[in-house]
Amino acid sequence: MADATPSLVLLAELGMPGQRIELDHDPAHYVVHVCRARPGDTFWATDGAGHLAHLRLVTVAPSVTAEVESRVRQPRKRECVVWCGAPEGTRADWLVEKLAELGVGTMQPVDCARSKWEARPSRMARWSRLAGSALRQSRSVYLMRIEPPRRLTELLESIPPGASLWFADPDGLKRVSPPEETMSIGMIGPAEGVDDRERGLLEARGFKPISLGESRLRSETAAMAWAAWWASGADG
């Protein structure tokens, strides 16, 4: 029998095979009211942390519960973090959606000398919902993390060892093959660009300048283009 939901369901906790779990409001609404699943129907779910589970709906009232039939972990071979300078206006919303769809692990807003993020709680909450929709859409088992904004200097002090480091720069290296490293970080300046001091810090820390094409790109387009370039390096 086909599964009851076309999309992957995102659950806070997946439980282990044989366990019965209660669904929170949003996933319960999606499974029962949007997809009209009935007791006995099955669906796929993820915790957004690399686990995929097949569940069978048990009750729909008074609470929505399901039994975990199977659960597997899907390890990631490659992961990337995008350090994003602030784009103009409301362009961050679709940036969140596109980075999440392209399989970016973490979006890290970066406060630069020339431009800072406005990360109100309502905005962070909306971004988190957008990342969840993108996960369902792309049937990915990894939910993109969205970190609160941090200063570039602070971030430069907490880079994991062995990461491949990139910096989007119209005058950078051309025709570069995407990295095969387990962890990559791509830094994209804000709409106003990074200043000379910031560029110096990035270069000193080993960030390689990379040109993403012949055009001058908006900040959010460059972030998305870097992520697409990184994603094109997946080996399956």
Q: Is 158 exposed, middle or buried (0-12, 13-18, 19+ CB in 10 A)?
A: exposed
Which residue in the set 5, 46, 108, 140 belongs to the binding site for a second copy (CB under 8 A)? 140
Are the C-beta atoms of residues 145 and 105 closer than 8 Å to each other? yes
Rounded least distance, CB 214 to a second copy, Å: 5
Binding residue count for a second copy, defined by CB under 8 A: 33
- Picking from 66, 4, 59, the residue whose alpha carbon sits closest to that of residue 35 is 4
Q: Which is nearer to a second copy, 183 or 228 (CB)?
A: 228
Q: Given the rule CB under 8 A, which of 44-52, 93-101, 117-125, 148-156 is the region that contacts a second copy?
A: 93-101
Task: Kindly state whether residue 213 participates in binding a second copy, applying the rule CB under 8 A.
Answer: yes
Q: Tell me how far apart the alpha carbons of residues 95 and 101 are, in angstroms, rounded to a whole number.
A: 10
Q: Tell me how far apart the alpha carbons of residues 172 and 157 are, in angstroms, rounded to a whole number.
A: 23
Angle of CA points 77, 159, 212, to nearest 5° = 70
Task: Kindly state whether residue 86 participates in binding a second copy, applying the rule CB under 8 A.
Answer: no
Task: Kindly state whether residue 153 participates in binding a second copy, applying the rule CB under 8 A.
Answer: no
Distance (Å) of CA 32 to CA 76, 138, 140, 158, 218: 31, 21, 22, 43, 42
Task: Kindly state whether residue 92 participates in binding a second copy, applying the rule CB under 8 A.
Answer: no
Q: Which is nearer to a second copy, 152 or 222 (CB)?
A: 222
Rounded least distance, CB 186 to a second copy, Å: 12
Q: Which is nearer to a second copy, 2 or 204 (CB)?
A: 2
- Phi first, then psi, for residue 61 (nearest 5°) are -155, 150
Rounded least distance, CB 61 to a second copy, Å: 33
Task: Kindly state whether residue 73 participates in binding a second copy, applying the rule CB under 8 A.
Answer: no
